[in-house]
Structure 1
Amino acid sequence: MNIDNPTISVVMSVYNGEKYIAETLDSILGQSFIEFELIVINDCSTDNSLSILESYAASDARIRIINNAVNKKLPASLNVGIRAARGKYIARMDADDISLSHRFQTQFDFMESNPELSFVGTLVKCFYDDDNVGSAYATTSAMEEIHFNFIDPSHDTERTTQLITAETYKTTRICHSSLFGRTDAFKKIMYREDVFAEDWDLYNRAINRGLLISKVPEVLVKYRIVNTGMCGQFNEQSKSDIRQKISKLNNGILKDCFSSGSYKNGLKFFWYHYCRFYLATFVLFLRRVFGIVVMRPLFKVMKAIYHALPPSALKFLFRVLSKINRYRIFHKIPVFNRILSISMAVLTANKDVNFAAFEDFSVKKRINIGIWTIEKKWAMGGLNTILKMIPTIISRNEKVRVINYGLHSEELIQEFLGFVDENFKVEGKIVSEHVEVISASTYRNNQIRFNKSDQFIAGFWEPAEDFIKFRKLQHFENDNFVYIIQDYEPSMLYRWGSEYIRSKATLEDKGYYPIYNNSVFVCGYMKSLGIIDGWNDEQVLHGEPCDTKPLPASNMNTSDIKLVFYSRPTVDKNVYALKVEALKLFIDHITDNKPQMLNGLEITGIGEKADDIEYRGVTIKNHGKVDYRDYVNFLKQFNVGMSCIISPAFAYPCLEFPRAGIVTVVNRFENRDLSSYSSNIVSCDNNVQSMFESLVIASEKIANTEERYEQSSFVLPGVNIEKATEVMLKAMQV
């Protein structure tokens, strides 16, 4: 190649990047497209970065090192590189990321085929820096789904370009390390040198000038989430400094919108980043005024009514409000939700009204099990696994106390005990006679009254947190407890909710005996994070889903596609939106390629009630929760399934569907790939296109009924809950 006339100029700035710079350079120099120069701006590094760069430059003439006389920061250093670029195209690269070997060739071909485009990014695979696993400033899923892998689900270039043009004003949509563009476009725009998020600023200014940005629908860059990088350090600044820098960034983009004549973009930007804030502030002011003028007098009236009503009327009111309180829709009604909340708090604290808060309990020795609900409609999955421990414990002549962290009433207690008797047997004993149920509030308010020999089993993170907290009382003889680690706790390591820090702290506690419910995947992942060092085989459950069975091969439906998917719209980790988009692509595929199967196509979501979705004449039904008594037979009507969850653990439908003879799409995650255990499982990646392609594969396998039947009886590594409980009791010296 002619090193004085390269096709691509790679621009990279380095400041104290010795830890990863060699890996990054190797990924660039190993590109299949070799017609490039690598311009590296050393921004006054004080570590070993320069010597590493010079050693590489000595053996590869394509590397040009430019040393800044003073530390200019990233945007200014990139402008130095852009001015020095000699190629037709410029490729951006950060000093700690990795380019796949065919990145340059793919982006070059893409730009040559789409001359209307000025810039193009790629899909990105995010991963954590070695030093910040579990404590990074952002999650891999958030960075990928919200920012870097923002793309039209069908991967159509024109529609992706339109999406990026229409939505970039909200946030960045292109990974900076994946950016590839025409050199004249870079030199026309350049970076603003005095702002944070210079890449987002550049994209907005490019769009304001009519330049088009798109994305290659392929992962070509691995992005390292580093707390010591610009984003990580930015998040560690004071709130006032952060607000000041964001304000400066937004003001600059807004000013550019109007100075460039991009008035529509300016109005959208002003609404999204300014008006919404001012509106929220005004609404807060109105709420304060409303509280003084309306709510305070109303509360006085409520107080007078409360004192005037007899206990029988208050009990009736408590029952009514308790039922209303179960429905989320009432929590969303302004004013009423506040009244409901206060009324429930007052009535709950009244011992003449709410027996649960002041209920009696036995002070004899018990094995306590903390669970999230006693409602029998939820007695599936992980809760069912925990309840299976009770017969083994009772067979040892032990008494059990269930501590309920969910809705609590005498009616629910009796229903729960009836369920226990119906489903769990111990020879010569009625199980419910050996089980006591109390509320979590009773547990928390009466610790000192519990028998000192009591032992505790935490069914999820909240009772684990309570027991850790109550150690300081030094009341119990044994400070250790048993922790049934469900999928929920490790999922919290991916920050699906506000309890993330609390949940993680319980996992990092060293004073528990663990039982890992989800085969080797959860404990393996926790070991990779350094939370645990290892485990015993008897501590790992092979999964305790409902005991689903397939139809005989001769009775299986092969003529029509009957598809069932695990649907939980309100639970982020269940990626409901991705599943729906994949299902729409699947409907497109059937409509365009197999129209004869369209009339028989049925799609049903189970797990949580939601609105049905109509698409091209096909209804994506949302059936809601299936009663545990009907579940096994309910599944026998289906032949294709989908159960994807962004978690180290798997949801139980990932096992229940294929064990019912349903060819099921299940996503890979970290160290989990279930397809090796059964051909009834088709693995996919965590994106719409892969889910759709796997659905097509699954639908093509339904005709092989003999294989579906034979592959339904698979078992994951681990032991059953009865065996694990026996070993646990020995460890507890019961």
Structure 2
Amino acid sequence: MSNAPTVSVVLGTYNGEAYLREQLDSVLAQTYPFLEIIAIDDGSSDSTVAILKEYSARDTRIKVVVNEQNLGFIRNFEKGCSLATGRWISLCDQDDYWLPDKIKKMVEAIGDYPMVYCDSILCDENLRPLGTRISDLVHYQSFDDPRQLCVFSRMYGHATLITRDLFTRSRPFLKEVPHDGWLAYHATLYGGVLYLPEVLVNYRQHAANVFGVVGRKKKKPATEDKAVLKKRELQRIRVRMQAYCDACPESLVPQKRLLRALVRSYRDFSPLNDIRRMLLFFANYRRLLVVKNYSTPRKWLFCLKMLVKIK
């Protein structure tokens, strides 16, 4: 361990005073000692920055960066990762709790993979376990094909360890795609994603989560017309699929072929494209829906729904 490479922990913060101390304590208690902790704040108005500076004064491994203007959580993490100097990068949210061996076990597991991810257990706002792991809700496994993650991705940033090279290959991040899903997709292009089937994170669920569990966005009060919101969501999905297609190299012939076909089928809700989209999902449901913890009949029903919706 004396010659072990550094892991850069990139901690993104924004008005996180409520749970930040517990998270910082769990990071500093890691049994893997060779860490740099880049705490990048996105313009908090509470005591978040004061807490970060307090911890930084006590531990020189912590570097605090405060953005001059709010970047949003995706760009904030991208900026934090760009400052990392370690061989590996570990993404860190402000409100979870890492078990002591999290980084050590992930470093030992990653090998030549560009990404490894672990399991998490859901906890309430006081970190009391709720008895459910994320792997109880979705199908977790290792991935080596971009078709497996081009529609759904359930790798959460807090549970991942990536190489700095993967981050470089994945830039720039897109505002339309969560950064953890974007990184996981690119990992399938450059060596695959390894699953470590062990709970190493207490994943706190509370009212201020940016995203709820299993990728469902937290519900917010409707302030815009539903038609406008729907149009924006469809545009986001189309941008994501086009970006995934563009990132896939020509050498991956069958993968590129399916991605191009999906891009074409996502252009509009014309009857022809609705049928194309449904048939593509039926023909490829084992890959496109692999992360869904569904029975085969339920996956078929999902494919049938592609006649009237886009995912």
Give TM-score scaled by structure 1 length: 0.33
Q: How many residue pairs get matched?
A: 264
1:372-419 Cα shifts (integer Å, max 9, x gaps): xxxxxxxxxxxxxxxxxxxxxxxxxxxxxxxxxxxxxxxxxxxxxxxx
Answer yes or no: is 1:128 the counterpart of 2:120.
no
Q: State the partner residue of 1:47.
A: 46
Letter in 1 for 2:180: D
CA–CA distance in 2 between the matches of 1:100 and 1:273?
Answer: 44
Counterparts of 1:72 and 1:276, CA distance in 2: 31
Aligned-pair CA distance for 1:276: 11
Q: Is the Cα–Cα contact under 8 Å of residues 196 and 246 in structure 1 kept in the other structure? A: no
* CA distance in 2 between partners of 1:250 and 1:43 (Å): 26
Partner Cα separation in structure 1 for residue 54 and residue 114 of structure 2: 34
Instruction: Tell me what 1:229 maps to.
Output: 209
> Could you tell me how far 1:230 is from its partner in structure 2?
1.9
| 1:63-102 equivalences in 2 (<5 Å) | 63-102=62-101
Tell me, yes or no, if the aligned pair for 1:234 and 1:242 is still in contact at 8 Å: no
2:30 alignment partner in structure 1 = 31
Task: Report the residue type matching 2:115 in the other structure.
Answer: F
Partner residue, 1:220: 200
* Distance across 2 between alignment mates of 1:189 and 1:45: 27
Q: Out of 219, 243, 258, which is 2:230 matched to?
A: 243
Considering Cα pairs closer than 8 Å and 6+ residues apart, tell me whether 1 or 2 has the greater RCO: 2
Q: Which amino acid aligns with 2:140?
A: I
Residue 108 in structure 1 maps to residue 102 in structure 2: no
**Deviation of the 1:258 alpha carbon:** 3.3
1:105 positional shift? 0.4
Partners of 1:218 and 1:272 in 2: CA distance? 39
CA distance in 2: counterparts of 1:128 and 1:277, whole angstroms: 40
Q: Secondary structure at the match of 1:57?
A: helix
Work out whether residues 122 and 203 of structure 2, in 8 Å CA contact, stay in contact via their aligned partners in 1: yes
* Secondary structure class of the residue paired with 1:161: coil
Written as runs of structure 1 = structure 2, the 5 A alignment for 1:222-621 is: 222-231=202-211, 234-236=218-220, 238=222, 239-240=226-227, 242-259=229-246, 260=248, 261=250, 264-265=254-255, 267=258, 270=262, 274=266
Aligned to 1:56: 55
Deviation at 1:222, TM superposition (A): 1.6
2:178 alignment counterpart: 197
Corresponding residue for residue 304 of structure 2:
none
Counterpart residue identity of residue 207, structure 2? N
Question: What's the CA shift string for 1:77-97, capped at 9, x where partnerless?
Answer: 112111111101100111111
Q: Which residue of 2 aligns with 1:145?
A: 136
Task: State the TM-score, normalizing by the size of structure 2.
Answer: 0.73
SS in 1 for 2:8: strand
Which of 147, 153, 158 does residue 177 from structure 1 map onto? 158
Aligned counterparts of 1:90 and 1:109: Cα–Cα separation in 2: 14
Q: Is the 8 A contact 1:126 1:140 kept in 2?
A: yes
Distance 1:191 1:16, change over 3 A: farther
Report the 3-state secondary structure (helix = DSSP H, G, I; strand = E; otherwise coil) of the residue aligned with 2:46: coil
Percent identity, aligned pairs only?
Answer: 23
Q: Which amino acid letter does the alignment assign opposite residue 64 of structure 1?
A: K
Q: CA RMSD in A?
A: 3.5
Tell whether the 8 Å contact from 1:41 to 1:66 is kept in structure 2 after alignment: yes
- Counterpart in 1 of 2:190? 210
Whole-Å Cα distance in 2 between the matches of residues 30 and 243 of structure 1?
44
- CA distance in 1 between partners of 2:125 and 2:265 (Å): 31
Q: Give 3-state SS (helix, strand or coil) of 1:61's partner.
A: coil
Aligned-partner residue type, residue 253 of structure 1: R
Write the distance in 2 (CA, Å) between the matches of 1:142 and 1:273: 35
* Structure number with higher helix proportion: 1
Question: Which of residues 155, 161, 184 is equivalent to 2:143?
Answer: 161
> 3-state DSSP class of the match of 1:72?
coil
Matches within 5 A, 1:697-716: none
Deviation at 1:46, TM superposition (A): 0.2
Structure 2: 5+ residue stretches without partners: 276-292, 296-311
Residue type at the aligned position of 2:183: L
Choose 1 or 2 for highest CA Rg. 1
Q: After TM superposition, give the deviation of residue 277 of structure 1 in Å.
A: 6.7
Aligned mates of 1:240, 1:265 — CA distance in 2: 33
* Deviation of 1:161 (Å): 2.9
Q: CA deviation at 1:196?
A: 4.8
Cα deviations by residue, 1:50-97 (Å, 9 ceiling, x for unpaired): 111111111111100011000111111112111111101100111111
Deviations 1:688-732 (A, max 9, x none): xxxxxxxxxxxxxxxxxxxxxxxxxxxxxxxxxxxxxxxxxxxxx
Kept in 2, the 8 Å contact 1:165–1:213? The answer is no
- Contact 1:146/1:173 (<8 A) preserved: no
The match for 2:11 is 12
3-state SS of paired residue (1:180) = strand
| Contact 1:126/1:224, CA 8 A, preserved across alignment | yes
Code of the aligned partner of 2:266: Y
Call closer, same or farther: CA 1:219–1:143 in 2, change over 3 Å.
Answer: closer
In structure 1, which of residues 115, 118, 125 is the aligned counterpart of residue 114 of structure 2?
Answer: 118
In 2, distance between residues paired with 1:177 and 1:41?
Answer: 15
Tell me if structure 2 keeps the 8 A contact 1:128–1:140. no
Name the amino acid aligned to 1:236. K
Cα distance change, pair 161–194 in 1 and its aligned pair in 2 (3 A): closer
